Structure 1
């Protein structure tokens, strides 16, 4: 785990004074565990990818694909050695890096440009061609973007997510309630703020906090506890409003529906919500206020989206400035 964190930190250029700690108690929970979602209609969805962005159904895309005759750069050791040494991912022709088609039928060279133009078919065509090139190799990496499948609706809304000891549908008594890393609990007790960052609500944020003892640690801390709302909705959140996202997080921290359930109030877990202007999530300020939660709008920059799915990105400088301001730590905004 330490090696993986070091590698990720270096490639991502995370500042040296930033500490990354696994959320789970790795000494106690040595068995492999998985994420499972229970939907409101009783459906059980097993595995993070299936909850958040399931695999593309190849039956939907029937175009003939011609694989590349040249091995993609990502399959070469020298490529990854250069990435690790430089800490940067090179700006190269997507076809050269990932393999597959040089261009899609619509003339797009990369998945991202196809998605930015709203052509999911072209994006999927490129993805499939690259998959054909490298899927059978040990290094099965390709230019995939969860946007391709992240908006297919779930059968019903998510009721809760939990950790499981097995993804086998036939397995019984699979639910487990791991403890958080002791370092995380100590840091929460001595921090300036708890920030629930952007990301997929049920597969990126909640898995870090639906742990035994986490609710007590967060509730006892007298610091600000801030949710950064995403700039758009996704498969997991459906049409949830800001207040519903807050309540879902609070329920998860309180480990609702389990034998370890606690009953801390909303404001014990969340005190503030930050959201970008013109984002895709409805921020019901009055309802949040009735829950004891303050809402803070932040300047944003436009993000590619369809007319039916508005989206926005935070202006990073404005966000840091506003966060520092209401935390009364102006020196942070540098």
Structure 2
């Protein structure tokens, strides 16, 4: 088949955990369209066990990349593949939260005496173990009186991916190694938004002028760290961090050095005002404009559809959109379908609760991010009339807590809406997408008509 007749791909912008629930949906749509599928994942997360890896080793936030790669391990219902199941459990495993117990279990893993190794072949076990032993050696090398690695709650997959990056000197190669071990199909790729060996943090500017530094502080309740004076005065907190020998440069903002190993996603308090803008910063808090991973731009250049998946709008989706080149690539009219799968509820980033985001607010935030990413900026379009350059279709749920959708207003902007009926699990106070209904809606948007599904479509979908 010539390159001209090869089907164009689908590019999905997403974070980690939320969009993992839709992997089977995107897999089915890819199979129906017989085309490549690419996931674009941000690398700015500085929370959880990733924060300790960043503190000691530097480098990108890898948790969401690891999560997606492991989620893509294929399930074959016709064959009992115990090794694939074991590898999935292995790379998703987290060490205990108690520091002493975590360190003890870690040594059981690197010494190959842990039950997690059961059902993993010798060849793969020794390959995996060699990388883990390598990262263990690096941990010991970096041990200082002022700084020791904390294994509490550490993800084995994150440790492996970091070890692979340090061993090869290439984040891309580490992803390839984990993809190969996880048997991720060649037609599906997981691309970091930035291909880098460096740490890249984000800041958020709120409508009231507040600046919040670091993704974890944006997503979860914490005291915001203002930039004013934090660098030049070297206050007591900065000096205290400067006395710790780790991967952070002296004078780095304290908010970017802290361990965020434990935090709660429950009962998140509102931000004092709406988020207006997200940007990347260097370790001292100065704004920097970064270019997207060239492979991301390549996939966008050969895409028939872009999908903005469910997840945190400002910390999972927008960090990928503001990178140089992304907005211009998405605005290309050759990409016919630009689909936003609207979240089923609002969160800390899309509040406050007294004034939650509507569907139009979500679309406007995406359009603004894409516009800011374009070069030259002066040549970029602005205003509601240009929203359709970045979003052509909206898929949404209806029910308690779902964002407001003004269908008529969106239609005036040239954005088609599809209401999908969802489901609610026992004990949950929000609606979830039904996989079958979401697949049908995506197939309708992308032009596939399955006569067998036509009879049931009225029960699951309204266009």
TM-score (norm 2): 0.46
Residue 271 (str. 1) matches residue 392 (str. 2): yes
Residue 147 of structure 1: how far off its partner (Å): 2.9
Aligned to 2:365: 248
Residue 6 of structure 1: how far off its partner (Å): 7.8
Separation of aligned partners in 1, 2:341 and 2:448 = 18
Residue 11 (str. 1) matches residue 74 (str. 2): no
Give 1:70-219 correspondences, 5 Å limit: 146-149=265-268, 152-166=269-283, 168=284, 171=285, 174-219=286-331
**1:25-61 Cα deviation digits (max 9, x unpaired):** 43xxx542201000111110011111111359xxxxx
Aligned to 1:283: 405
Work out whether residues 298 and 319 of structure 1, in 8 Å CA contact, stay in contact via their aligned partners in 2: yes
Aligned to 2:457: none
Work out whether residues 328 and 373 of structure 2, in 8 Å CA contact, stay in contact via their aligned partners in 1: no
Give 1:279-318 correspondences, 5 Å limit: 280-302=402-424, 311-318=430-437
More contact order relative to length (CA 8 Å, sep ≥ 6): 2
Separation of aligned partners in 2, 1:224 and 1:24 = 24
- CA separation of 1:37/1:233 partners in 2, compared to 1, >3 Å: closer, same or farther? same
Moved over 6 A (4+): 3-6, 139-142, 256-259
- CA separation of 1:288/1:303 partners in 2, compared to 1, >3 Å: closer, same or farther? farther
Separation of aligned partners in 2, 1:20 and 1:184 = 10
SS at match of 1:300: coil
Aligned to 2:34: none
- CA separation of 1:280/1:46 partners in 2, compared to 1, >3 Å: closer, same or farther? same
Residue 8 of structure 1: how far off its partner (Å): 3.4
Work out whether residues 243 and 288 of structure 1, in 8 Å CA contact, stay in contact via their aligned partners in 2: yes
Separation of aligned partners in 2, 1:6 and 1:232 = 24
> What do you get for the CA RMSD once the two structures are aligned?
3.2
Question: How many residues are aligned here?
Answer: 237
- CA separation of 1:6/1:55 partners in 2, compared to 1, >3 Å: closer, same or farther? closer
Q: 1:54 aligns with which of 221, 229, 238?
A: 221
- CA separation of 1:48/1:157 partners in 2, compared to 1, >3 Å: closer, same or farther? same
**1:296-316 Cα deviation digits (max 9, x unpaired):** 11120115788xxx6211001
TM-score (norm 1): 0.63
Residue 329 of structure 1: how far off its partner (Å): 2.7
